[in-house]
Homo-oligomer: A and B are copies of this chain.
Amino acid sequence: MAMDDQLSSTSRLEAFSDGVIAVIITIMVLELKVPAQRGVAGLLSVVPTLVVYFISFSFTAIYWVNHHHLVHRIEQSDQRVLYANLGFLFCLSLLPFFTSYVLEKENDSFSIALYAASMVITGFSFLLLRLAIERRMRVAGTFHPGDAAIQRKHLLSLGLYGLAIPLAYYHPSVALADIALVTVVWIVPTAGTKPCDDDNR
């Protein structure tokens, strides 16, 4: 049924992606387990868990912001954009699983390497979505090549997430810090790119 209607407005794509991302970001909280111990000792024992949850939440949130801005650039989606978007959502939907992997294995090397690998794969699937959308923009004549800095930053983050994979075998906590750092670089909007006027107002 999908084949006879090549172009469609992006509004339902946005609504569906928002729904999926909203569920992904929220069900991760179900992985947080109340500690058996009472009092402050119990709370302290869940702090590493909260840190991992915070990284996963931030990672998902940053992709939502980027998704928001990327899809905003086109007004109609084609089959390629539709399927690239579903591929991206599939990769992102595995994050809660790999988050609970890290939590249940108590931050061991292998699970942190997996966690970093899942972030690299998600980043790669987002790159495919970006290419599908740029192709659509070229067809629609709305492409402008001014986002070289952003693309450089995107590739750099993929590289740094990728670096966490071997790093996890030697220093799991350094690998986790690397992942957290890359996520923070994305949060601070102007980090790694030229400062924008708006932020100096």
- Please report A residues at the B interface, Cβ cutoff 8 Å: 1-6, 8, 12, 14-16, 18-27, 29-30, 32, 34, 38-40, 42-43, 54, 57-58, 61-62, 64-66, 68-70, 72-73, 78-80, 82-83, 86, 89-90, 93-94, 96-97, 100-101, 104-105, 108, 110, 114, 130, 139, 146-147, 149-150, 154, 186-187, 189-190, 193, 196, 198-199, 201
Contacts and interface: CB of A to CB of B under 8 A. Distances in A.
The quantity of this chain's copies bound in the complex is 4
Determine chain A's interface SS by DSSP, over half rule. helix
B15 A23 contact: no
A1 B150 CA distance: 5
A124 to B, nearest CB: 15
A68 to B, nearest CB: 5
Contacts of A12: 14, 18, 68, 72
B198 A78 contact: yes
Contacts of A89: 25, 61
A153 to B, nearest CB: 8
Contacts of A72: 5, 8, 12
